[in-house]
Each structure stands twice: as C-alpha cells, then as structure tokens.
C-alpha cells in the first residue's frame, strides 16, 4: 500500500509538470502568434486560448488531487503510528500483568505456608516460634505491597531513593526464613558460609532480588539436593570486567547462590537476563515460570549499583552459581 501511494504521487507530479509546461508554452504562443499571423487568424488564436484554459484547469485539478493524495498518505502514516503505539501499549500492559503475577506469587506462597502451619499445628508450635511465623507473614505482606507499588520497576532505572546501610547476612537469613517450609518439605541441605557484612542497598528491593534467586535455585533443582550460599570479598574470576567509573565506587561484597540443578549452557546465559526467556530443558521443572526472575533481579541490582552474572557449565547435576555484588561499607 505504501509503495502504491508513493508511485501514485510520483505519476501525478510528473503529469502536473507536463501540463504546466504545455500551458506555459501555449501562453507564450498566444503572445507571439498574433503578431506573426495577424488578426485574420482569430479562429486559431481563439482555439489556442481555449486549449490553454483547458490545460490549466486540468493541471490545477491534478494539483488538487496530488494534494489530497498527500494528505491521505499523511493521515495513513499517522494511523499506522497510532496503531503501532496501541500494539506497544497492549504488550506493555500484558508484560506488567505477567510481572505482577510472577512477583506477587512468592510472598503469597510464604503467607499461605506459614498460615497453614499455624492453622494445622498451632497447639504444638511454641509461642516464640509462633511469633516468628507471624513476623514472616508480616514481612511477606510488606513485600507484596512494595511489589504492587513499584510494578513499573524497569522504567525507574537509576533511582537511588531508599538506599541505606544494612547487613547482607541478616537480609539473606531473613529471606531464607520465608522459604523454611519449602526447604523442610523438600528435605534440602542448606550450606551457609557467611559473615556479617554491611552494604549499601534498598532493603525491600534487595529482598525481592534474593527471593527471585532463591526461588530459581529451588525451582530448577531436584528436592533433596544441596543449596550453598557464600559471601566473599574476593572478586570471582568469572565476574565481568569493571569500567573505570565502576572501579572507583569502592569495595564490593560478592554473594554466590549455588544449586545442583540442570545448569545453564554458557551460550544461553546472557539471553536469560532478557524478559520472558527460559531454557527448554528446564520447562518441566517449573512450568508455571514466566522467565522474569533474572531480568527483574538485574534491573533492581543495577538500580543499587550492583551486578549479577551466572557461572555454569550447563551440565545437569553440576548446577548454576548465581553471583551478585553490592557496594560494601
């Protein structure tokens, strides 16, 4: 359609140019011929006047048509742009709904798990442990509220509002506590090599990142397998190179989350940081996943000046180590 309109405009312009040229030649003839032929050739003169008038009328008509075609083409382009914008808006709305579904599901699962424990075993649970369960329910409610308030996180890159000093070890243990029912039910072995370490981060966003990464580690590995979490101040060899600006941001702490799952081939690792990307080999382990966990974690960490990358050979059973870094105080 676009090519057809372009060809039509070109033909109309050429035709208008020809008609105007003929009209100008006839006009010149009207001025010269009477002097050459004299008044005895009035019929020829009158005919030339009529032909010239007709040519000018037709030329003006074609110019009007060309103008209308140009206006229609402009309106067509505007309609196409509006249609493309509507399609993009619809995709954004669908993406936001998928993000909402993905992110809210984890705190809701924690709330349901602890509430179910309290309902079924409230008489056997000691009062102190009951208070801890209620505290976890309260934390999960705060996290769900935060997710609903900040669902358009990818559009807020670079914001540093709410960053504060916090203990990374305490944050990790707090999030792990929300997975306690699942860890116990799946009989997981949990290995922790951590010490207290203060970092600069946004508490709720950091908890959201940790939830995503722990959930991935558990979802893409078999029950009964081991989960190892390590804190170190030594930059791993697998870490991406830092720019000069990033190097000047000071010391960093590195957190590793190692599972014994299906692994991720090196050539697939960067792709998984894009939205809605998943490994075909892992779909049977977490069919409800949407491929958003790593994407959102990367967005949130970059807002806090952090990094995230993967370390895996892609061999089943060897698992994946997810590394993240934050600025250390």
For the segment 105-114, the average pLDDT, to the nearest whole number, is: 81
Q: How many residues does the chain have?
A: 329
pLDDT of residue 287: 59
pLDDT of residue 159: 46
What is the b/e burial string over 232-248, where b = at least 16 CB atoms within 10 angstroms of the residue's CB? eeeeeeeeeeeeeeeee
pLDDT of residue 160: 46
Relative to beta strand 189-193, strand 321-327 is unpaired
Statement: residue 115 has pLDDT above 80 = yes
pLDDT of residue 73: 75
Average pLDDT of the chain to the nearest whole number: 78
For 255, phi and psi rounded to 5 degrees?
-115, 130
- Nearest 5°: the CA angle 82, 83, 85 is 65
| List of domains in the chain | 1-155 (no CATH), 163-327 (3.30.565.10)
Statement: residue 61 has pLDDT above 80 = no
For the segment 294-322, the average pLDDT, to the nearest whole number, is: 90
pLDDT tens profile 75-90: 878 888 888 888 877 7
Percent of the chain with pLDDT over 90: 24
pLDDT confidence band for 114 (50 / 70 / 90):
confident
For 54, phi and psi rounded to 5 degrees?
-65, -45
pLDDT confidence band for 44 (50 / 70 / 90):
low
For 8, phi and psi rounded to 5 degrees?
-65, -45
For 98, phi and psi rounded to 5 degrees?
-65, -40
pLDDT confidence band for 1 (50 / 70 / 90):
low
Statement: residue 24 has pLDDT above 70 = no
pLDDT of residue 156: 46
Statement: residue 325 has pLDDT above 70 = yes
- Written in H, E and C, the secondary structure of the chain is CHHHHHHHHHHHHHHHHHHHHHHHHHHHHHHHHHHHHCHHHHHHHHHHHHHHHHHHHHHHHHHHHHHHHHHHHHHHHHHHHHHHHHHHHHHHHHHHHHHHHHHHHHHHHHHHHHHHHHHHHCCCCCHHHHHHHHHHHHHHHHHHHHHHHCCCHHHHCCCCCCCEEEEHHHHHHHHHHHCHHHHHHCCCEEEEECCCCEEEECHHHHHHHHHHHHHHHHHCCCCCCEEEEEEECCCCCCCCCCCHHHHCCCCEEEEEEECCCCCCCHHHCHHHHCCCCCCHHHCCCCCCCCCCHHHHHHHHHHHCCCEEEEECCCCCCCCCEEEEEEEEC
Statement: residue 154 has pLDDT above 50 = no
Statement: residue 324 has pLDDT above 90 = yes
pLDDT confidence band for 13 (50 / 70 / 90):
low
pLDDT tens profile 176-213: 988 888 888 889 999 999 999 999 999 888 988 998 89
pLDDT of residue 326: 94
pLDDT of residue 52: 64
For the segment 24-31, the average pLDDT, to the nearest whole number, is: 62
């Amino acid at each position: 359609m676009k090519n057809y309109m372009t060809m039509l405009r070109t033909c109309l312009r050429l035709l208008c140019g020809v008609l105007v040229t003929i009209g100008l030649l006839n006009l010149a003839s009207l001025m010269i011929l009477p002097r050459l032929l004299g008044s005895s050739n009035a019929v020829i003169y009158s005919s030339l006047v009529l032909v010239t008038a007709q040519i000018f009328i037709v030329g003006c008509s074609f110019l009007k048509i060309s103008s209308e075609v140009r206006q229609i083409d402009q309106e067509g382009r505007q309609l196409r742009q509006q249609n493309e914008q509507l399609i993009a808006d619809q995709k954004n709305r669908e993406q936001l709904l998928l993000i909402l579904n993905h992110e809210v599901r984890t705190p809701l699962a924690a709330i349901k798990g602890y509430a179910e424990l309290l309902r079924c075993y409230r008489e056997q649970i000691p009062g102190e442990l009951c208070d801890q369960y209620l505290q976890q329910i309260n934390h999960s409610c705060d996290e769900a509220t935060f997710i609903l308030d900040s669902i358009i996180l990818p559009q807020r890159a670079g914001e540093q509002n709410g960053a504060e000093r916090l203990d990374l070890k305490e944050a990790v243990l707090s999030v792990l506590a929300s997975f306690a029912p699942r860890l116990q039910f799946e009989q997981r072995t949990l290995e922790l090599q951590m010490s207290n370490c203060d970092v600069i981060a946004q508490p709720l966003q950091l908890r959201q990142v940790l939830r995503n990464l722990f959930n991935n580690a558990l979802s893409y590995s078999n029950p009964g397998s081991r989960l190892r979490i390590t804190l170190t101040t030594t930059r791993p060899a697998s870490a991406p190179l830092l720019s000069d600006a990033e190097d000047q941001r000071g010391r960093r702490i590195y957190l590793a989350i190692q599972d014994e799952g299906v692994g991720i081939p090196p050539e697939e690792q960067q792709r998984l940081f894009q939205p809605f990307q998943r490994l075909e080999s892992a779909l049977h382990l977490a069919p409800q996943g949407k491929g958003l966990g790593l994407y959102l974690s990367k967005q949130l960490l970059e807002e806090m000046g952090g990094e995230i990358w993967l370390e895996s050979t892609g061999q089943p059973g060897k698992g994946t180590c997810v590394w993240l870094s934050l600025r250390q105080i």
